Amino acid sequence: VGAPQEPYAPALAAQGLPGERLLCVRSDKPLARLWAAEQALRCADVAAVLAWLPQARADQLRRLHLAAQSHPGSQQGMQQGSRQRLLFVFRTPVARHESSPARLRLLLEGSDELRVRILKRRGPPVDAPVVLDAHPPRLAALPASRRRAAPLPPSRPIPREVHALDRAVTA
């Protein structure tokens, strides 16, 4: 919901996520994004919602968190084999100082190497960031093979900036 760029289908397919199961919702209006995310969380066929909500307030996030917890099958359906519901909310770095119902909060920084700072989690605090290669070889091979197959039209560069991620995992 409200993704700043188109999802890269070959990378999703490489991770086992079929493109035909992906639904992208675009809106410039923050309230429309919140509404779409909440409706998706209430849909029985949705496994996960990724929402870019830079202006979301704590009460709005709590409402989304509750929608993720109370989706059809979350409690009764667990006995019938229901899947786990995931909610990922992307916010601005300024939001790291605001409250959130998320159980896990991450701050992502960097471009060539990705530094993941754990802002909130269950258990003791983690002071040092986790450092990851931002361009893993397996993923880098996808665009290279595609360039050999056919030239791509020019695209807008993806900004390499800091992003904050709130993740609420519910059963």
State the Cα–Cα distance between residues 32 and 169, nearest whole angstrom: 23
pTM for the predicted model, two decimal places = 0.70
The pLDDT tens digits of the residues spanning 17-68 come to 888 888 999 999 999 999 999 999 988 888 889 999 999 999 999 999 999 8
The pLDDT tens digits of the residues spanning 127-171 come to 999 998 877 776 667 666 655 655 555 555 545 455 555 555 443
Backbone angles phi, psi at 23, to 5 degrees: -120, 120
The string of DSSP letters for 54-87 reads: TT--HHHHHHHHHHHHTSTTSSTGGGGTPPPEEE
State the Cα–Cα distance between residues 45 and 84, nearest whole angstrom: 11
The pLDDT tens digits of the residues spanning 78-120 come to 444 445 578 999 999 999 999 899 999 999 998 878 899 999 9
- How far CA 27 is from CA of 10, 47, 75, 109, 110, in Å, comes to 24, 21, 32, 26, 27
Backbone angles phi, psi at 30, to 5 degrees: -55, -40
